[in-house]
Chain A
């Protein structure tokens, strides 16, 4: 905007004001078209979740977009057919515990990698970054064999245990933040006779709150969306998380697709709440995550 003002003396007063900036018009046209395209499936989903099957199979545009009467009973039906509240609880419980474990351990490791100088530190950091590139699926067959040998399959344990050891992405992100904290903070506390663990809990951890919140949000979001782990390890319906609960949704009649769509709408609601709660932090995380 400032550069526009700067250009003003060169412009020809009146003539400039009248000129339409076609570039901006084209940009808006493109963005509006794309945004509309993004929103259409969501609108369709919501409208269709209020249809009966006759309306659903209609090939008429008007019925497709403005069905009448509306069938709000699809929602209570969806809640009756599958224990969505249970899946929702499982999802939130699992995501919360995974997040707490991962963020705490990652912060501890990041503390070790950012506030000390020891031999091999650079090497560990390099391995850490390289490990982010490993596709995790290659490890899944041996891990599954191992967990089934010790009888942990069909429980949340295999989904929680890896997080006790921290996650490479989180460690890296928190480390990037901790490096920027002034060294005087630790040194003052250490001079007072505090142990390094005291410094971690009383000084560094509180100071790193923004990074912890951001990694926490991203871990929670990852866990919330994850289908791979639950699909492999959870077999009983009362352990299902929301993604696989939806995936295995089967209505007794096999025909009520619109009830299933209502269930999907219910599953989308927490996402929207999540976005508006975490909005500021998600953008802040992007700034920290940036490799600069």
Chain B
């Protein structure tokens, strides 16, 4: 009987094999091979040429890479920092029994279902530089002179950051469900002690939710690191045969740049190097978040 159970248990291993095989073939091996490619100059048509670390050295002084790098970090700060805080705040408001909470929640959530490419493309004319763009039109009414949002390198990437605030509904619903799971007795006790809304928000909601917040920060990091579709939609790829990431490359992000170098300019080695930079940034940030959150995570568990 024991032997039978053991044999059955071994079947469990067999069922996990598909994923293990996929993991090795589609993640481990390509990541390793990517490192190999990144040491070469290769356009897919001729033979790869070994050039050592030259691709990485080149990136350090490449203005297009530096813009993309800066933009990705900027996006991380705003989408993870401000976006997640705002999502949490709105979730906490909607978890109160205020009138119309369901309607608000639906409207907040709907844009997260929209194809980001389509959404970016509809934001392009809204941020149009000429007077007819909705933003500039409204600013003119208020007596403020509009700017060429997408054509001005100083403002272009802010359009991406602003556009992303339409997508915070996705993280908001997860926070909302988390708050709904917190036992109401905590809030009742706090209310009897005379704690106000903000005090309850900071002393009950946030600590009790810390595992969910942690999860959201990590997935927000991965999302931010890979941000690509809003910028390409805003950059108007259709009329763009010169492989430019918006005017003066101002809309570049790391993944956008990887796409341009790899799949428009066929510089496979350089694109692989960018891929590795993205991977390393992801690893560094994950470890950093893990270290910072370890403390909060524990207190969150203790509170439960």
The reply to whether the CB of B144 lies closer than 8 angstroms to some CB of chain A is no
**Nearest CB on B from A23, distance (A):** 6
Question: Does any Cβ of A come within 8 Å of B15's Cβ?
Answer: yes
Q: Which of B140, B215, B263, B276 has the most CB of A within 10 A?
A: B263
Contact A28 B98 (CB under 8 A): yes
User: With A38-B107, A59-B140, A127-B23 in contact, do A108 and B15 touch (Cβ < 8 Å)?
Assistant: yes
| Contact of A156 with B by CB under 8 A | no
Assembled-state Cα–Cα distance A31/B211 (Å):
26
Give A171 to B20 CA distance when docked, in angstroms: 12
User: Is the beta-carbon distance between B263 and A131 smaller than 8 angstroms?
Assistant: no
Which stretch, B4-12, B77-85, B151-159, touches the partner chain A?
Answer: B4-12
**A164-B18, A246-B117, A247-B232 known; A141 and B262 CB under 8 Å?**
yes
A284 to B204, CA, bound (A): 24
User: Residue A111 at the B interface, CB < 8 A?
Assistant: yes
Contact present for A246 and B121 (CB under 8 Å):
yes
Considering the chains assembled together, what is the distance between the CA atoms of A115 and B187 in angstroms? 38
- Chain A binding site: helix, strand, loop or mixed by DSSP? helix
B22 touches A162 (CB 8 A): yes
Kindly supply a per-residue 1/0 record for chain A positions 256-292, scoring 1 wherever the CB is within 8 Å of any chain B CB and 0 otherwise. Answer: 0100110010011001101100000011001101111
Per-residue CB contact flags for chain B residues 209-221 toward chain A (1 = under 8 Å, else 0) read: 0011001001000
A11-65 contacts to B, CB under 8 A, are: 23-24, 27-28, 30-31, 34-35, 38-42, 44-45, 48, 56-59, 61, 64
Q: Interface digits, B222-244 against A, CB 8 Å rule (1 contact, 0 not)?
A: 10011011001100011100000
Residues of B within 8 A of A138 (CB): 30-31, 34, 275-276, 278-279
Cβ contacts under 8 Å, B255 to chain A: 137, 228
Known: A48-B125, A140-B275, A145-B37. A113 touches B107 (CB 8 A): no
Contact A61 B141, CB 8 Å, known A134-B279, A138-B275, A138-B278: yes
Contact of A142 with B30 in the complex, beta carbons under 8 Å: yes
Whether A97 is near chain B, meaning CB under 8 Å from some CB there, is: no
Is A242 interfacial (CB 8 A cutoff)?
A: yes
Partner of B115 from A1, A38, A112, A271 at Cβ < 8 Å: A271
Contacts of B16 in A (CB 8 A): 109, 112-113, 121, 124
Decide: A140 and B238 in contact? CB cutoff 8 A.
no
> In the complex, what distance in Å separates the CA atom of A247 from the CA atom of B117?
7
Known: A124-B20, A141-B34. A283 touches B104 (CB 8 A): no
- Interface residue count on the A side (C-beta < 8 Å): 103
Interface segment among A72-80, A208-216, A219-227: the answer is A219-227
Chain B residues contacting A139 (CB-CB under 8 Å) are 26-27, 30-31, 34, 275
Given contacts A105-B19, A112-B13, A247-B238, contact A44 B259 (CB under 8 A): no
A160 within 8 A of B: no
Against B, the Cβ 8 Å flags (1 = close, 0 = not) of A138-176 are 111111111010000000000000101110100100000
Is B263 a contact of A120 with CB atoms below 8 Å? no
Q: Which residues of A contact B134 (CB under 8 A)?
A: 40-41, 44, 64
Does residue A185 face the partner (Cβ distance < 8 Å to B)?
no
Q: How far is the CB of B207 from chain A (nearest CB, A)?
A: 15
Please pick, from A48, A108, A127, A143, the residue contacting B26 in the complex, using a CB distance under 8 A: A143
Chain B at the A interface: mostly helix, strand, loop or mixed? helix
Q: Give every chain A residue within 8 A of B181 (Cβ-Cβ).
A: 287, 290, 292
Closest to A190 in B: B8
Give the Cβ gap from B146 to chain A, nearest Cβ, in Å.
Answer: 11
Pairwise interchain contact B263-A144, C-beta atoms closer than 8 A: yes
Chain A residues closer than 8 Å to B262, beta-carbon distance: 140-141, 144
Known: A133-B282, A247-B232. A118 touches B13 (CB 8 A): yes
Is B184 an interface residue, CB under 8 A from the partner?
Answer: yes
* Min CB gap A171→B, angstroms: 6
Q: How far is the CB of A254 from chain B (nearest CB, A)?
A: 8
Shortest Cβ distance from B32 into chain A, in angstroms?
8
Contact with B along A79-116 (1 / 0, CB 8 A): 00000000000000000000000000110110111011
A115 touches B137 (CB 8 A): no
Chain B hits for A2, CB < 8 A: 184, 188
Q: Which residue of A lies closest to B258 (CB)?
A: A137
Min CB distance A242 to B, Å, is 6
Chain A contacts of B29 at CB under 8 A?
142
In the complex, what's the smallest C-beta–C-beta distance from A244 to chain B, in angstroms? Answer: 7
Q: Is the CB of B15 within 8 A of A44?
A: no
- A-side contacts of B73, CB under 8 Å: none
Chain B hits for A257, CB < 8 A = 125
Query: Is B166 engaged at the interface, CB distance under 8 Å to the other chain?
Result: yes
Closest A-chain residue to B32, C-beta based? A142
B166 to chain A, nearest CB (A): 6
Q: List 13 A-B contacts (CB under 8 A).
A: A3-B191, A31-B93, A38-B108, A59-B140, A109-B19, A112-B16, A121-B16, A135-B282, A143-B26, A144-B262, A227-B115, A227-B116, A274-B113
A-to-B contact residues, CB < 8 Å: 1-3, 6-7, 23-24, 27-28, 30-31, 34-35, 38-42, 44-45, 48, 56-59, 61, 64, 105-106, 108-109, 111-113, 115-118, 120-121, 124, 127-128, 131-146, 148, 162, 164-166, 168, 171, 190, 196, 200, 221, 224-225, 227-228, 231-232, 242-244, 246-250, 254, 257, 260-261, 264, 267-268, 271-272, 274-275, 282-283, 286-287, 289-292
Given contacts A45-B122, A116-B15, A139-B275, 11 further A-B contacts (CB under 8 A): A3-B191, A28-B99, A112-B11, A113-B15, A133-B218, A138-B275, A162-B26, A227-B228, A242-B118, A275-B110, A287-B177
